[in-house]
Structure 1
């Protein structure tokens, strides 16, 4: 049986109009996928609904019958669609690219084909049209050389942050096609945190143990909301990136609410409610500097969302190739997420630094316990990244970062 590997490689350092119905479907899929991932991952999580949509969309273009229908239903695609949703995504990325002086946002897709393996011209054309995919030939029989070739491409598209992505062990003698998606985002905060105000403070992990983490502090005027639902209280804070195209949303449960209880309450309707009901207020913010990195195999999560057909030898991917028994062996995604005082290493922000004068603001947002987060495109409300922090990864921090505090 021939195998197809799907890799979605996404990188975000810290931290255009598409249709609103598309954004709502994107959020619904994001929530479904988040809940599925939580079944097997109890600690830090980071993934991209957008990246997953892209790689599944690339399969859907060549799938037929039940395989195609399962992807359509899970991605909330319209039944009579023939790629229109993905052309909207293409317009979204084109609009973003026109404003890149404010941030860095790179999207790249590639199809790596086994030399001599025949893929239908229409499928290659559709991938180039909707996903701007580059078509590259490799010899998967030489697994090490193929791994080096694709890893070099990934490294070049993620500004060197993801190296040696493939070892060659992922490829077998039946590997015929790999779909790779890389997204790289880097942006400064609209209002930076001042490094001199960062202090070591306790962060209480999910198990109740406390760890020392660098806690960034600032007094900012930004969008904020306090919500109370069925005795569950929580706060929502929005931190925009420079240019106002993207923002980070943090959902912080009250101290007596565990993170699992908060996760159960996440719905597309509730997320859209947060976006619309938050108001600009002065907020005293304490937010940990942290890094989260995760490589996910989505096969189990997609199974729970009823995408099963593409993983079996009898699935119909005849829109991709006439080869008899082609199936998907893996759907992988690698994401690196970092939050620091600048938001990124880019040029100085035009935002204004405000000295920290603690205990003066009416609203206090102290993220010293597990929280959820979303990175969204503000004009469309589309979710690019989603995750949770149960333990800021202090082990990967450079010693000088801690010694300076």
Structure 2
């Protein structure tokens, strides 16, 4: 290489360096988001035997808002749980801003609303830099309230959440949630609604047996459809399972369904799931003609992320000795509560979801007949395709658990 060529490449690197750094940071953010999502799932499922639904994106955003004002050990615990590198402190906020812009639907087939807010006890002087940072990177607002007036606070915050989720999340908080010691409450609201690229026909929905657990069988409304979509048959640790993708109209979002083999307990398969496996599924799945049978269901769940985050070793933010001096100059400031409430609906038309708050790469196999019959517990992931990010994640162990059975069965 000549001296002229050397200087040319140095000049090009100087021009493109910041752009390449943003790409690298964005890629690391997507990877850390997936690993954080799996960490959350493993923590939540370990204490819950029933249906599960949560938004790792919502959880990440509220922690990101705290991290922006955290320092010292408090900041380190959050970054470690979020799987962020210490040498990139601060850079992830710009990447997160681009990330949030990228997951916004570009077409009108979808409704995707995202809103964040921090409610602080009156008397705390919030730093201007923190206010500007939250608005710039999280599109969030900071509001001062009097938590001692628990009734007014509960009504105000619940109304805000209800408005941001198109009325799907109601009564987020009650008067019992606040008291004299409440200092800071973080609220994250996510609302998603999309139609299937190919809809299930309502006349095809029929009652069908669903094996809940230990051989117990219940009858549920089972939707059916034939379509061409991505499907994979995988084996991991001597366990067989299927993975299928149900795309939404516009192809910006998809629902990924994982169904264990009939002789595989879902709890055993859950223990083995990793980010590398999920990435392996997405690469190995192939377009096939598939006959899908999927229960019509809804899940509503309220999660106490305070206990979940403590299990992930985020403990400092919940004690009076934490360092949140980037938010306000007060040693009395700490997180009182982080709550997420989810409403997730799957029906013939599509999905509606609202939230307020190194493994082995599997090998694809082939079967003569492509059927995906979800007549036993299964996992699901709602993801944004351009970024491959997980918006919602959960499992269905009993489709009738949300008291839909009588209404739905009577409608068949």
The offset of 1:95, in angstroms, is 3.4
Query: What corresponds to 1:53 in structure 2?
Result: 60
Q: What is the aligned counterpart of 2:387 among 360, 366, 380? A: 380
Q: Gapped runs of 5+ residues in structure 1?
A: 1-15, 346-360
Distance 1:90 1:309 in 2: 26
1:131 matched to 2:131? The reply is no
Q: What secondary structure sits across from 2:334 in the alignment?
A: strand
1:402 matched to 2:392? The reply is no
Distance 2:403 2:249 in 1: 27
Runs of 4+ residues deviating >6 angstroms: none
Q: What is the aligned counterpart of 1:69 among 61, 70, 76? A: 76
1:128–1:145 CA distance, 2 compared to 1 (3 A): same
Query: What corresponds to 1:103 in structure 2?
Result: 110
Q: What is the aligned counterpart of 1:154 among 151, 155, 161? A: 161
> 1:247-301 CA deviation, whole Å, 9 max, x = no partner?
0000000000001111011001001101111111011110000011111112232
The offset of 1:328, in angstroms, is 1.8
Query: What corresponds to 1:362 in structure 2?
Result: 369
Matches within 5 A, 1:190-229: 190-229=197-236
Kept in 2: contact 1:114–1:137 (CA 8 A): yes
Q: What secondary structure sits across from 1:130 in the alignment?
A: helix
The offset of 1:304, in angstroms, is 2.2
Q: What secondary structure sits across from 2:288 in the alignment?
A: strand
1:207–1:398 CA distance, 2 compared to 1 (3 A): closer
Query: What corresponds to 1:179 in structure 2?
Result: 186
Q: What is the aligned counterpart of 1:324 among 320, 324, 331? A: 331
Which structure has more relative contact order (CA 8 Å, sep 6+)? It is: 1
Query: What corresponds to 1:80 in structure 2?
Result: 87
1:141 matched to 2:141? The reply is no
Report the aligned-residue RMSD: 2.0
1:395–1:314 CA distance, 2 compared to 1 (3 A): closer
Q: What secondary structure sits across from 1:326 in the alignment?
A: coil
The offset of 1:154, in angstroms, is 0.6
> 1:319-374 CA deviation, whole Å, 9 max, x = no partner?
111112222232211111110000048xxxxxxxxxxxxxxx82111000001111
Q: What secondary structure sits across from 1:243 in the alignment?
A: coil
Q: Gapped runs of 5+ residues in structure 2?
A: 1-22, 353-367
Instruction: Pick the structure with more helix per residue.
Output: 2
Distance 1:92 1:68 in 2: 21
1:308–1:400 CA distance, 2 compared to 1 (3 A): closer
The offset of 1:140, in angstroms, is 1.7
Distance 2:43 2:104 in 1: 32
Query: What corresponds to 1:351 in structure 2?
Result: none
Bigger radius of gyration among the two: 2
Query: What corresponds to 2:20 in structure 1?
Result: none
Aligned residues: 376
Query: What corresponds to 2:246 in structure 1?
Result: 239
Query: What corresponds to 1:4 in structure 2?
Result: none
1:235–1:98 CA distance, 2 compared to 1 (3 A): closer
Distance 2:147 2:36 in 1: 33
Q: What secondary structure sits across from 2:87 in the alignment?
A: coil
Q: What is the aligned counterpart of 1:166 among 150, 169, 173? A: 173
Query: What corresponds to 1:37 in structure 2?
Result: 44
Kept in 2: contact 1:18–1:91 (CA 8 A): no
Q: What secondary structure sits across from 2:162 in the alignment?
A: helix
1:27–1:168 CA distance, 2 compared to 1 (3 A): same
| TM-score w.r.t. length of structure 1 | 0.88
Q: What secondary structure sits across from 2:176 in the alignment?
A: coil
Kept in 1: contact 2:247–2:255 (CA 8 A): yes
